[in-house]
Structure 1
Amino acid sequence: MKKVLLFCTLLAVAAARPGHEHDDVPTSQKQHDLNFMLWKIYEVNHDPHMLELEDTFDPQGANAHYNDDGHAAKILMDELNSGRLLEQKHWFSLFNTRQRTEALMLYDVLEHSTDWATFVGNAAYFRKRMNEGEFCYALYAAVVHSDLTRHVVLPPLYEVTPHMFTNAEVIEEAYRAKMTQKVTKIESKFTGSRKNPEQRIAYFGEDIGMNTHHVTWHLEFPFWWNDDHEGYHLDRKGENFFWVHHQLTVRFDAERISNYLAPVHELQWQEEIYEGFAPHTMYKYGGYFPSRPDHIQFSDVQGVANVRDMIIIEQRIRDAIAHGYVTGAHGEIIDIMNEHGIDVLGDLIESSLYSPNPEYYGALHNTAHVMLGRQGDPEGKFANPPGVLEHFETATRDPTFFRLHKYMDNIFKEHKDSLPSYTKEELTFTGVHIENLCVRGNLETYFEDFEYSLINAVDDTVEIPDVAISTVIPRLNHREFSFIVDVDNDQDHDVLATVRIFAWPHADNNGVEFTFDEGRWNAIELDKFWTFLHPGHNHIERRGADSSVTVPDVPSFRFLMERAEQALKDHVELDLDEYVSALGMPNRFLLPKGSRRGLSFDLVVAITDGAADAAVEDLHTNTKFNHYGYHGQYPDKRPHGYPLDRHVEDDRIFEELPNFKHVTVKVYHNPHY
């Protein structure tokens, strides 16, 4: 889950990472151990070796090896022995400062372990003694970032902690099935009813693959990341924060238009929150996720922030954009009127520890999530647990998540629109002419049933064995298709080219056509890859399944367990490289839903100079994951969304470019596929 990175480079350079001692434990054994660490995290460990380690491993003993001299282990053991850690069987939220601190104490211990025996020994020891939510988060973050777990695949969170992803009525039925020992397959429905127009696009916000993408991005690029502590830098983290949420927002709008709804309106602190939300989900321990009624005004949240504070922070950020610079913590002037300004703003708006001045510019994104999540009980009168917006796993279930991010996206747009537009000379790739752009195959979507296990949702008892319990829920998919691009290279030698493919809805829900400038800001990135263009004619065919912005869905927990056990039994290397990243959108989500009659989309391809674009060499030799990262570096020097990321004064600048092609296609939805 870390080797391939979404919209970024997670690792600055491999040499900058903390070193590890030689570790020759096979991946199959590591996968086996990880599986049992996360299998039924609220119950006793089901692996005999793990059970032994729980009581025999000493985090501060002679057999524990660290690259920080055991400093992190000492801190955590002191907290544990003093009884200061959160109790087990209690909700956990990353936005709770103390709970996050405790989870990161364990993360530090695991991350500083220099061999697998120490890593797994600590995991087993603290699994028994720490809060389950804190343990789960720390283990996931450590597996993402540790060199020891480079080829290990994390089980899907929706099967590790099903309560976060599954409606409460389904969980209750799962308990009945366990008690009656009845093999059961339960039908899941999306939250809400047909009286709620937002129900039409619930399949997007509640899709467990999309939820996995969102939480995985925040694991790869956590706001708590400290370079001095971790030993390396997360390249272009602020820009990646902007881009991943921008893409979620424009995709959400495309789904709304596919379902005859208007693009989502941004949230405003001084306006009412139009849509309420009833999550229909519950914590494993801690009660139900709180609801929010329709048509309420933002209230101050006790112990978090006042509405006035959020307005002031927003204004400071907008002032910085208007002035073209950010004021650093020591009064220094940081110029943002350039292609790197978006990176500064992303760090500032989130706010991560990379923010140049968090005391002045605050943490607009993180605080807003908590503010919105607690509007059902802002004074804490009813002692509700955190709302869905206070968990990255559940945040997109609430449609207001997208209103919140449209609000922040529009702030980013202010900055992008303040930059000078690209000129025709800057955009031209000399000697390259696109002759044709089309699609092979039908752009057709459909819903399919997806089944996942609920075994980890129900409690164990000595008297009652496990029984197969699962749930089935519809999810969006599409038929296979390919992009066809015919290109002429007039030069007498091969040239490296970057192929960038985007699409946006041709018109809004009222049939009003978007201008080119409106469309390009709403463009969905469909693919980006590098290829050599030979002299003369080049015929490029690129399958949608090979898109660099998407990944396969995470395999099931049972699949990972069976593959690991078989590899151990056969003494062969475990190969799960296909699933090393869960960062991208699921490939089946590459296309918006479209409509029965066919929804028109503007499809564009821009072919730019790969030699000028490339930040690393030999990009064409690794075409699958170029967009996510390559050998520890973000491969593209250009900004995310290039060349559509800046304001377009006159669309003829693009339409007359020989290396740009613009056509209209239709995406059909087949309800009877």
Structure 2
Amino acid sequence: MRFCSLLSLLSLNIYLEVFANGKGNRYFLEKQRFLLEILHHVDEPLMNEQWRLLGQQLVTDKEQYVVYNDHMVEFYKDFALGKLLPRNKYYNPLYADHYQQTLGLYHFFYNTRDWYTLWQNICWARVHINPGVFVQALTQVIFKREDYQALIMAKIYELWPEAYHDDVTIGKARKFNFANWIRYDNISDIEEVHPQKLEPLSLEGDLRNSLEWFQAMADVNILRMRHQKVGHRLQHLLGDIGWQSYWYNLNMGVALTEDSDQLQEWCYYQLSQILARYKLERYGQHLSYKRLTLEKDSQKHKQRFREESSKTTRIINKKLKELEARVGDAITFRGFQLANGSYINLKDNNNWLIGLKELFPYDWSKLNIEKSTEPELLLDLRTSLRSENFYYYAERLLQSYRWYRQAFKPTNHEMFIPSDFRIDDIQISPLITYDEPVDVDLSNILHAKHFYLAGQFVWPFTLQQRQLRLQHRDFTYKLQISSNKTQSTIFRTFLTTAEHGKIFGEPFYQLDSFLTVIYPGVNRISRPSKDFRGLTGDHISYTELHQFVRLAEREEYDFPLNISTPNCGFPRRLILPRGGKGNPLKMRLLIVATVYDFKAHEGNELNCDFTKGVSRWDELPLAYPFERILEDDSQAVEISGDHVYWKDVEILHEDQSD
């Protein structure tokens, strides 16, 4: 408790020092520029002489830390003995020894009493520690310490482009030489583009249409690598950098957070959403989707990360079979043997929650795996959503999770069904998807020598890769509600397949949920897709962010603290599956209304901060009404009656010119 109080006091002091009127002052800007530059070309040796000198020694004076714990002692001992992971080796926090090293460095960052101690430790780690360990520990500190949460980390796919792009793209970027490119009249598939051609033009805050943006980017040459064609017919989703980084950031936020039943439920709800969204894409592509199977050699393009090995497949299948057997025994015998050897009756009190916690861990730091000889898509948090087998394993895991919860926590859902209430009609504007051209920042993969002039860091050019990504036009749905009384009501909106009357195995993806007051008579409610909760738009790139900081340091710009988007928000542009060309993709909307019980809770999970819990409207399960297995919509009171409405919809895909 004393430790938390001290950190809170430190946080308050730094907050008052750094922020004013939602703008970052010079203290904040100094920290922000340092953070961006120390992460620049993080996998190469540090070239900044000032920081190399500062990073010669780790601060080991215990008085400079709020707590000096065993993790720190073991970490420094391993460093002194040369046991830490070498800089040039592949890092994966799911490996037990890699995670322990990350934990030690994290505490050397997190427990510091002041910025100057943290500054020196960051410089030391940048020079001496494996880049993966370094980035992981630093990310956790930015996510977890309240006084540093306003600092903006570059997006993970901008820090590690090699994890998110194919080998051809990575090879071209690494070999690129700016001087030769100019000398030979720009003859290559890399071209210079005008600032107005950088896509997407529309960012959160409308930054790319501002005068300040042109000032910030005035001295930067914007270069673009032409996009590669997407071959695999699910690649527009699986290869999407926003789709992949969402899962990475979610796991970063959850790691090292105090265990809670609500956080566990939230994590499994997010997993169910990812699975449902993937299944809708398969449905739209006319692929099997109700029962997923193991895929082999589904990745056709060259990547640094290979598909999972046969050994990995055997290990995961074995663990899933063991889990399914333990869940079956727990349900059959209403008892469970804990890891410490004691046996509990799952019917007593809330013992079933103890069993739930042991059976279904959700924090990746508790899921150690065996080391593999080569990086595998499935076993790296940055790339796991790119593996089609991920969804097969997720489906099996979620089936066991729902089975267990359904057996031990039957909920009287009828008490949440509103009375004297009817959904009369739903109207929805056209649902249209299209392939949108965008530019993704590859600057961190270029050689660091291009960014230092006379020992000083400069950012003379940026290399972007043109990609096509799935996007949809904004849409709005409108509800007409009849009621005989005033009642606070929650509406949940789901997208599912066009199957009628057969809901078993169908994916239900939650698009929207909101709370409103319904009054006697006819009520009309309009919900624009831009208002859907938990979603984020496009963010400023690594290059632009750095240039805005420099502009603000010259006092030519008031740097807003909301210049970037939340890391744990889901990409708004991915909520609809790709529509049909010519023949629209037929699907259905389901709207479910429930009574509000005045127990809403507002969390900060969009910013990957779970210290105060997660947001929820009520005490119903987050996945309600699909937290359990429903056999038929006519048999389930939750999805039949006046408080629900089914609507046939169509999604059309339009071709857009580049």
TM-score, scaled relative to structure 1:
0.78
Q: Which residue does the alignment assign to 2:396?
A: 407
Tell whether the 8 Å contact from 1:528 to 1:627 is kept in structure 2 after alignment: no
Structure 1 residue 73 displacement after superposition = 4.3
From 283, 286, 299, the equivalent of 1:257 is: 283
Q: Which residue does the alignment assign to 1:639?
A: 621
From 334, 342, 346, the equivalent of 1:335 is: 346
1-side partners of 2:356 and 2:640: how far apart?
Answer: 33
From 233, 242, 254, the equivalent of 1:221 is: 254
From 317, 321, 342, the equivalent of 2:327 is: 317
From 450, 453, 467, the equivalent of 1:473 is: 467
Q: Which residue does the alignment assign to 2:92?
A: 93
Equivalences for residues 508-527 of structure 1 within 5 A: 513=500, 515-519=502-506, 522-527=507-512
1-side partners of 2:299 and 2:361: how far apart?
Answer: 24
Letter in 1 for 2:233: R
- C-alpha change, 1:641 and 1:86, in structure 2 (3 Å) is same
How far does the alpha carbon of each residue in 1:377-424 deviate from its partner, in whole angstroms, 9 at most, with x for none? xxxxxxx32212121111122222222222223323433554687667
- C-alpha change, 1:537 and 1:327, in structure 2 (3 Å) is farther
Q: In the alignment, is residue 487 of structure 1 matched against residue 473 of structure 2?
A: no
1-side partners of 2:572 and 2:113: how far apart?
Answer: 35
Which stretch shifts more, 160-169 or 233-242?
A: 233-242
Structure 1 residue 134 displacement after superposition = 0.9
2-side partners of 1:142 and 1:593: how far apart?
Answer: 37
Equivalences for residues 657-668 of structure 1 within 5 A: 657-668=641-652
From 569, 583, 587, the equivalent of 1:601 is: 587
1-side partners of 2:93 and 2:379: how far apart?
Answer: 7
How far does the alpha carbon of each residue in 1:234-262 deviate from its partner, in whole angstroms, 9 at most, with x for none? 55232233222211111111111111211
Tell whether the 8 Å contact from 1:214 to 1:392 is kept in structure 2 after alignment: yes
Letter in 1 for 2:493: I
Tell whether the 8 Å contact from 1:427 to 1:643 is kept in structure 2 after alignment: no
Q: In the alignment, is residue 150 of structure 1 matched against residue 149 of structure 2?
A: yes
Equivalences for residues 565-584 of structure 1 within 5 A: 565-570=550-555, 574-577=559-562, 579-584=564-569
Q: In the alignment, is residue 281 of structure 1 matched against residue 303 of structure 2?
A: yes
Tell whether the 8 Å contact from 1:502 to 1:605 is kept in structure 2 after alignment: yes
- C-alpha change, 1:500 and 1:462, in structure 2 (3 Å) is closer
- C-alpha change, 1:514 and 1:166, in structure 2 (3 Å) is farther
From 575, 579, 582, the equivalent of 1:590 is: 575
SS in 1 for 2:590: strand
2-side partners of 1:104 and 1:256: how far apart?
Answer: 39
SS in 2 for 1:317: helix
Letter in 2 for 1:499: F
2-side partners of 1:498 and 1:463: how far apart?
Answer: 53
Structure 1 residue 276 displacement after superposition = 4.8
Letter in 2 for 1:539: R
Letter in 1 for 2:90: W
- C-alpha change, 1:237 and 1:630, in structure 2 (3 Å) is closer
SS in 2 for 1:200: coil
Structure 1 residue 42 displacement after superposition = 2.3
From 374, 377, 380, the equivalent of 1:388 is: 377
Which stretch shifts more, 420-429 or 403-412?
A: 420-429
2-side partners of 1:338 and 1:431: how far apart?
Answer: 36
Which stretch shifts more, 409-418 or 201-210?
A: 409-418
User: Sequence identity of aligned pairs in percent?
Assistant: 18
SS in 2 for 1:577: coil
How far does the alpha carbon of each residue in 1:112-170 deviate from its partner, in whole angstroms, 9 at most, with x for none? 12333232321122111100111111111221111122222221111111100011111
Letter in 1 for 2:628: R
Structure 1 residue 76 displacement after superposition = 2.9
Q: Which residue does the alignment assign to 1:290?
A: 306
Tell whether the 8 Å contact from 1:171 to 1:457 is kept in structure 2 after alignment: yes
- C-alpha change, 1:551 and 1:61, in structure 2 (3 Å) is same
2-side partners of 1:523 and 1:639: how far apart?
Answer: 15
Equivalences for residues 82-121 of structure 1 within 5 A: 82-121=81-120
Structure 1 residue 626 displacement after superposition = 12
Equivalenced residue count is 593
Letter in 1 for 2:59: P
Tell whether the 8 Å contact from 2:143 to 2:608 is kept in structure 1 after alignment: no
Tell whether the 8 Å contact from 1:103 to 1:135 is kept in structure 2 after alignment: yes
- C-alpha change, 1:342 and 1:589, in structure 2 (3 Å) is farther
Structure 1 residue 347 displacement after superposition = 5.8
Structure 1 residue 311 displacement after superposition = 3.4
Q: Which residue does the alignment assign to 1:358?
A: none
2-side partners of 1:54 and 1:561: how far apart?
Answer: 22
Q: Which residue does the alignment assign to 1:496?
A: 488
- C-alpha change, 1:661 and 1:336, in structure 2 (3 Å) is farther
Tell whether the 8 Å contact from 2:347 to 2:408 is kept in structure 1 after alignment: no
2-side partners of 1:337 and 1:253: how far apart?
Answer: 38
2-side partners of 1:354 and 1:473: how far apart?
Answer: 33
Tell whether the 8 Å contact from 1:337 to 1:419 is kept in structure 2 after alignment: no
- C-alpha change, 1:165 and 1:135, in structure 2 (3 Å) is same
- C-alpha change, 1:586 and 1:16, in structure 2 (3 Å) is farther
Tell whether the 8 Å contact from 2:421 to 2:642 is kept in structure 1 after alignment: yes
Which stretch shifts more, 426-435 or 661-670?
A: 426-435
Q: In the alignment, is residue 458 of structure 1 matched against residue 441 of structure 2?
A: no
2-side partners of 1:415 and 1:17: how far apart?
Answer: 41
- C-alpha change, 1:113 and 1:437, in structure 2 (3 Å) is farther
Which stretch shifts more, 153-162 or 45-54?
A: 45-54
Structure 1 residue 40 displacement after superposition = 1.2
- C-alpha change, 1:425 and 1:69, in structure 2 (3 Å) is closer
The unaligned stretches of length 5 or more in structure 2 are 19-26, 191-223, 454-459
- C-alpha change, 1:327 and 1:548, in structure 2 (3 Å) is farther
- C-alpha change, 1:560 and 1:216, in structure 2 (3 Å) is same
Q: In the alignment, is residue 348 of structure 1 matched against residue 348 of structure 2?
A: no
SS in 2 for 1:42: coil
How far does the alpha carbon of each residue in 1:242-297 deviate from its partner, in whole angstroms, 9 at most, with x for none? 222211111111111111211164457xxxx5445456223xxxxxx33569xxxx
Q: Which residue does the alignment assign to 1:9?
A: none
- C-alpha change, 1:161 and 1:15, in structure 2 (3 Å) is same
Q: Which residue does the alignment assign to 1:611?
A: 597
Tell whether the 8 Å contact from 2:501 to 2:632 is kept in structure 1 after alignment: no
Q: In the alignment, is residue 208 of structure 1 matched against residue 241 of structure 2?
A: yes
2-side partners of 1:107 and 1:120: how far apart?
Answer: 13
1-side partners of 2:322 and 2:597: how far apart?
Answer: 44
Q: Which residue does the alignment assign to 1:28?
A: 29
Structure 1 residue 624 displacement after superposition = 12
Which stretch shifts more, 593-602 or 253-262?
A: 593-602
1-side partners of 2:641 and 2:421: how far apart?
Answer: 10
- C-alpha change, 1:419 and 1:427, in structure 2 (3 Å) is farther
2-side partners of 1:49 and 1:181: how far apart?
Answer: 31
Structure 1 residue 472 displacement after superposition = 1.6
Structure 1 residue 323 displacement after superposition = 4.1
Tell whether the 8 Å contact from 2:439 to 2:464 is kept in structure 1 after alignment: yes
SS in 2 for 1:19: helix
Tell whether the 8 Å contact from 2:480 to 2:525 is kept in structure 1 after alignment: yes
Letter in 1 for 2:54: L
- C-alpha change, 1:129 and 1:256, in structure 2 (3 Å) is same
2-side partners of 1:264 and 1:529: how far apart?
Answer: 29
